[in-house]
Structure formats: C-alpha cells, structure tokens
Amino acid sequence: MRLAVFGGSGRTGGELLDLASARGWSVRALVRPASVCLSRPGLEILCGALESQADLLATAEGAEAVLCVFGPRSTRAVPFCAKATSGIISAMRSAGTRRLLCLTGAMVGNLPANVSFGMRGMAALYRRQCPALAEDALGQERVVMASDLDWTLVKPPRLTNGGVPHRIRADRALRIGLLSQVSRRGLAAFMLDEAGAGRHIRQRVYVSD
C-alpha cells in the first residue's frame, strides 16, 4: 500500500514506519525539520509543519490511506491535535484520499460501558489536571467523526514497548480496565492491518494485547 503518516517521528510512529517498510509498503511521512526520523526502505520524508496546508496536501497526495499518530508529548504541551486533524481531513479531500486512521486513546471522549469504573476515574482525573489537552483530544475525535471519510478512531489503553503479541484484540465494545495494555509495535501492526482490511470503518475501536 501507499501510506501517508503524520507523527512518524514519535515512538509509535517509528514502529509504524518499521513495520510498513518490512512489508514493502510505500510511506510518505511529514516531520518537523528538528525531528529525528530514521531512513527506511520505501520511506519518503517531507520536512514541514502540521500548520501548513500545502505540506499536508503534499503528504496526502497519492496515498491510499492516511495514518495520524501524533499527540502531546507532555502535560504542558500546547493543544494542537484537533486543528491539525481538521487540516489533514481538508487535505485528504483535496487529494481524493478517503481512508483515515487516527490514534487517540481509551480515555478520550464519551466512555461506553466497556470501559471500567477505574478507567473512568483515571479519565476524570486527567480531565481535571489537563483540561485543555483533554478537550483537544475530544475535539480531534469529533472532527474525525463529523467527516465524510472512511475513518477509524483507534483507542489503545496503556502503551508498552514490547514486540507484536500473539493476539491483538480490537472491537468497539472491547473490555478496557486499568490493567489493559498494548505494545506500540502491536498497535502499529493493527493499524497497518486495518488500513488494508477496513474492518472497522466509521468506528471508535478499542485495542489491547
């Protein structure tokens, strides 16, 4: 497949680029000039900014699927996810690309019954401590769901640094608790599989080991 990746210089993004390269897929990744993104076979790196509509369009053009795996790197970060995702969706429309996978989190948005009481408490604490970031993540999901694209919101719990597990569970009603987790590499494998298979189109899907 031909993919466009936003957020490829992060830890999850790096796993995504590694696995896509191992599969022989073609990837174009937009990274900031100061970011470190190792070269891989099949990878084209564009240095630019999420704030530039021209850079977003240049990244999305020709892609069969767009993967957004960016997010704040600290609790003191300036919110940017909702605005950047809105720009990416606009660029996708201009490029004629319809498939979008966007990584958020298990504690983002309205929590359904499959999310445990303990996780609900953690989500409430995060909203109190980081209200702007929590609202930005919620806004990102709303922007995606309001689009007419073939989207999937990917919602992992705690991320670890292990390898690809023997089994990755994914469902919009998957039970998520305080002990739930998924490795970044496993998460990347799921997102690549989903980009090709499209089993969860227009769903908020929870993922765990």
Find all residues with CB under 8 Å of 96, minimum gap 6, and list them.
none
Burial grade of 190 (CB within 10 A; 0-12, 13-18, 19 or more): buried
Distances, alpha carbon 135 to alpha carbons 105, 145, 146, in Å: 13, 15, 16
Q: Please say if the pLDDT value at position 44 is more than 90.
A: yes
Please give the Cα distance from 88 to 91 (Å, whole number). Answer: 5
Q: Are 164 and 183 within 8 A, CB to CB?
A: yes
What are 123-169's pLDDT values in tens digits?
Answer: 999 999 999 999 999 999 999 999 999 999 999 999 999 887 778 99
Q: Are 80 and 140 within 8 A, CB to CB?
A: no
Please give the Cα distance from 23 to 40 (Å, whole number). Answer: 12
Tokens describing residue 32: 């900031």
Chain mean position to CA 52: 19
Find all residues with CB under 8 Å of 92, minimum gap 6, and list them.
60, 66, 98, 100, 149
CA angle 13, 16, 19 (to 5 degrees): 150
Q: Is the pTM of this model over 0.85?
A: yes
Give the per-residue pLDDT at 36: 66
Cα diameter, the chain:
44
Select from 48, 139, 61 the least CA-distant residue to 93.
61
The DSSP 8-state label assigned to residue 105 in this structure reads -
State which residues form the domain around 146.
2-208
What are 50-90's pLDDT values in tens digits?
Answer: 999 999 999 999 999 999 999 998 888 999 999 999 999 99
Tokens describing residue 34: 């100061």
State how many domains the chain has: 1
Q: What is the mean pLDDT of residues 181-204?
A: 96
Residue 190: give its domain's CATH number.
3.40.50.720
